Amino acid sequence: MKKFFKTTLFFAGQLFCGVMSITDAQAQKEYSNWYFGNQAGVSFTSGNPQTITGSAMTTYEGCSSISNPQGQLLMYSNGEAIWDANHQVMPNGNSLGSHNSASQGVVILRAPGSSTIYYVFTVDAIDNNLAGGLRYSVVDMSLRGGLGDVTATKAVRLPTPTTTGKVTEKLTAALHANGRDYWVVVHGWESNNFFSFLLTSTGINSVPVVSAVGPVHQGGGSFFGAANAVGYMKISPNGAKLALAQRDSQFELYDYNNNSGQVSNYLSLRGTSSFHYGVEFSPDNSRLYTTMYSDGGFDTNVYQYNLQAGSGTAIQNSRQIVASIPGLSSAIQAASDGKLYLSALNKSYLNSIEYPNNLGNACGFQQNSVALGIKLGQNGLPNQPNVASVIMKNIAPSAMSRLKIYPNPTKEFIVLSISDSEIRNMDKISLIDMAGKTVAEYKVAELTVIKGEFIIPVNAIARGEYIVKAISPNESVTKLVVLE
């Protein structure tokens, strides 16, 4: 384990930012249960964060957890092992190829188009000399009566062609521009190469998109001479920007193309402090946050950059401190409630940024905002794809929130069910892809309704995940549907 001084959705801005009356955000509930630190846990399934217990995991940094679309826990991992919903290590769930002190040592993704297959990606830590590289394991949730297990496809190494073949501790995932697939992105060690691997319904493409841009990631003043491998990397919710922290060197901003997987247009955001770690974007893509340790390594400043400032120089000059925190507050992670949360080393709470879209101190930093009970946080918070940071705030249930859709997943048609009286208040039903494009629209007045149900054919629509949006004059409600 590293010593103390290590710590010294494409569619977010387009589809949902204008739909603040969403009452059923099933897609977001997949990342609504967080397990991290020393057996700590927080759940966002009811909207506001609530402490949860039962975790069997201890991790210094890297962690990831995932639930089903209804918010029921499926699994969590520290990159070394993977635990099931009963908090037991899966029978084949050890030796995944990471180390719990890798900054972003693990991320869990549901396979596009599947309700049972999950991919667990890992990178190694400098504690192991980064020897493990980027690996993936497959979990099949249909095994063991729904508790799941790691299949024979376990700890498979993906090629990252650099001089050493190693990658840093940075591992992030982003929704593809098609709204269905994922990019898994890492950075080479002793290299300036980014590697973007595409995960589709057919599996992981082992041939990465390579982008040689920005400074070489190497060296660092501590931690086995490799401190610059430490720190976070994130992609903005709209998939257009990528930012990363080299612990002892650079804070970097790039353009990201979530259609091609290419990284371009490097901009250095390095400030006077060199101890960078956490990285996160605001849900509306307008602000960028980072944590920087003081030169002594005992306190933390949270910096904000205004990505709407204009030129690269203007963005650099927009840097301002929005919080100064006694002790170490390292990772920053967006949650489905639209807020950002910050870890606190060996503390029984999380810190938060309440209004991350706001400029300067109006972002509303709050210390000790979420209690963890008797458990303690560490440096890391759960790693999750950029789509999980979409603002999906719950409001009081309405009549339209009782809209039901089945079967789901489906192939030929979907049935929408609600009472006849409530249907009379609806104007139209839209089917929207994950890039925010309306692919089909139906006027409710022209549909045949029988006892509060009507059928919409979907057999001619491309397979993937869609949002069904029901609209009335006063509100709208959405449901996630999977066409397979």
Q: What is the pLDDT of residue 406?
A: 87
Residues 165 and 281 reside in one and the same domain: yes
pLDDT of residue 474: 57
Same domain, 415 and 348: no
CA separation for the pair 10, 159 (Å, rounded): 26
Question: Whole domain around residue 353: which residue ranges?
Answer: 33-394
Q: Among 375, 394, 413, give the residue marking a domain's end.
A: 394
Domain end position, chosen among 394, 427, 444:
394
pLDDT value for 373: 93
Q: Is 157 a domain residue?
A: yes
Q: Are residues 425 and 365 in the same domain?
A: no
Q: Are residues 160 and 256 located together in one domain of the fold?
A: yes
| pLDDT at 1 (0 to 100) | 43
Give the pLDDT confidence score for residue 150 in this predicted structure. 99
Question: In which residue ranges of the chain is pLDDT below 50?
Answer: 1, 3-26, 390-400
- Within 10 A of 39 (CB to CB), how many other CB atoms are there? 19
Q: Identify whether 83 is part of a domain.
A: yes
- Give me the amino acid identity at 130: L
Burial of 105 by CB count in 10 Å (0-12 exposed, 13-18 middle, 19+ buried)? buried
Tokens 């979409």 correspond to 390
CA atoms of 231 and 101, how far apart (whole Å): 11
| Same domain as 349, residue 464 | no
Domain CATH number, residue 443: 2.60.40.1930
Q: Which of 130, 307, 305 is nearest to 220 (CA)?
A: 130
- Asked, for residue 13, whether it belongs to a domain, the answer is no
The answer to whether the pTM exceeds 0.85 is: no
What pLDDT was estimated at residue 295?
60
Domain boundary among 363, 394, 425: 394
Q: How many domains does the chain have?
A: 2
pLDDT value at position 135? Answer: 98
Residues 224 and 85 in one domain: yes
Q: Is 79 a domain residue?
A: yes
CATH number at residue 234: 2.120.10.30
Q: Tell me, yes or no, whether 4 lies in a domain.
A: no
Considering the domain boundaries, does residue 188 fall inside one?
Answer: yes
